[in-house]
Structure 1
Amino acid sequence: MKNCSRPPSGVLSLVLAITVLASMPACAAGDTVETIVMVRHGEKPAAGLGQLSCQGLNRALALPRVIESKYGKPDFIFAPDPARQKNDSGTKYDYVRPLATIEPTAIYFGLPVNASIGFSRTDDLHATLLSPQYKSSLVVVAWEHKIIEALARKIVSDAGGDAASVPHWASTDYDSIYVLRITQNEDKVKAAFSVEHEGLNHRAATCPGA
């Protein structure tokens, strides 16, 4: 009977390495992928107040684990400047709602929040997110839903995609997550868009400890 010996351990390791590499998704040399995860602020009180309701606070407190399980640890977090006032149910208030929503996430991951951009300054937010320093990063953005919708459409359109692929964000929807994955290679940019969900509807309407 012919004796069939095993290949040397070095050869076996090389074969296994080649097999693993062959099974991985192809990625062109030099590609960079930036993932932008955009969430709306949590639920608000009837009077607005620029603030969260207790239900919105409970959403904010549960959000860090959702971000972690879906995307891992962010590299950067953005929220609008809370000192910029917004008309909320007919009265202007300092707009702290998005920052209050994302603060538990920033605290959980030990990260600062970039809150230097006014909530309505879509062009400034767009330019900042697409600047070179973020092109290989996971960026979480907490903002106002109409601004998120407009921003996502602009990024998709600028990358040659169909802006209409970004759906309307309903005023009653606090649970959606708009995700953009931007792949850059030299002068070519592609943007893949998807809608995901936090799964945090129907949180308690009473504040923690109440």
Structure 2
Amino acid sequence: MSHCIMLIRHAEKPSAGLGGVSETGAADPRSLSVAGWRRAGALTRYFAIAAECTNGPIRRPRHILAAPPSGEHPSTRPTDTVRSLADVLGLTVNQRWSDQTSVHELARAVLGMDGPVLICWRHDQLPALARAIMRDDRIPSAWPADRFDITWALFSSGDVWHFEQVPQCLLSGDVDQAITV
């Protein structure tokens, strides 16, 4: 069985001391910054349309997972980031697993899904999740706190896994470099 699993960090959060805004512009400390909403919109096109126009590792997802708010992380940013994409694709954002879920449990569930999977999560758990999926250490040990602009693509053919970092290059200021291992 082959797999295509794409990992992204939620879009930009507000700077310290500033609150986020809801999709309608109302103050919401748990949500994205204005730049985050711009990225969420750009990601919709990136995954829904542009993914079909290239031969690269980015695919149109058939499943979208996002970390739901929890006691430790009350933010709605992961879901806010992918909600528009899910709407455009006619999918539901799956929030069954939280940041309290073992990355190994989440990896097992994702590996059982058919078709491309997009996971939008908090940056501090993404390296461990990628390692749990691939069972490999070729993954950077940390996702930098200031990087919102990259997609990790994990894909397999049978038992052979490949890892690729794809700079999104969607917004001004995005970096066209991989995260160092």
Q: TM-score, normalised by structure 1?
A: 0.67
Verify the 8 A CA contact 1:120 1:147 in the aligned structure 2. Answer: no
1:77 is matched with which residue: 50, 61, 64? 64
Shift of 1:59: 0.5
- Larger helix proportion, structure 1 or 2? 1
Note if contact 1:178-1:194 (Cα within 8 Å) is conserved in structure 2.
Answer: yes
SS for the counterpart of 2:154 is: strand
Matched residues in 1 for 2:10 and 2:99: separation?
12
Contact 1:85 1:95 in 2 (8 A): no
- Count of aligned positions: 153
Corresponding residue for residue 182 of structure 1 = 156
* Corresponding residue number in structure 2 for 1:139: 117
Could you tell me how far apart the structure 1 residues matched to 2:30 and 2:45 are? 25
Percent identical = 28
CA contact (8 A) 2:104 2:133 kept: no
- Unaligned 5+ runs, structure 1: 1-31, 88-93, 204-210
Q: Which has the larger radius of gyration?
A: 1
Structure 2 unmatched runs, 5+: 20-28, 52-57, 174-181
- Match in the other structure for 2:111: 130
Provide Cα deviations, 1:114-143, integer angstroms capped at 9, x if missing partner. 111112422331121122xx1x41001111
Superposed displacement of residue 72, structure 1: 4.1
Summarize the Cα distance change of 1:45–1:112 in structure 2 as closer, same or farther, 3 Å threshold. same
Q: Report the Cα distance in structure 2 between the residues aligned to 1:72 and 1:155, rounded to whole angstroms.
A: 18
What is the distance in 2 between the residues matched to 1:200 and 1:143?
19
Name the CA distance, whole Å, in 2 between partners of 1:120 and 1:146.
13
Q: Give, in whole Å, the separation in 1 of the partners of 2:154 and 2:60.
A: 16
For residues 41 and 77 of structure 2, the distance between their equivalents in structure 1, rounded to whole angstroms, comes to: 13
4+ residue stretches of structure 1 with deviation over 6 A? none
Matched, 1:114 2:94: yes
Aligned ranges 1:27-66 → 2 under 5 Å? 32-46=1-15, 47=17, 49-66=29-46
Secondary structure class of the residue paired with 2:163: strand
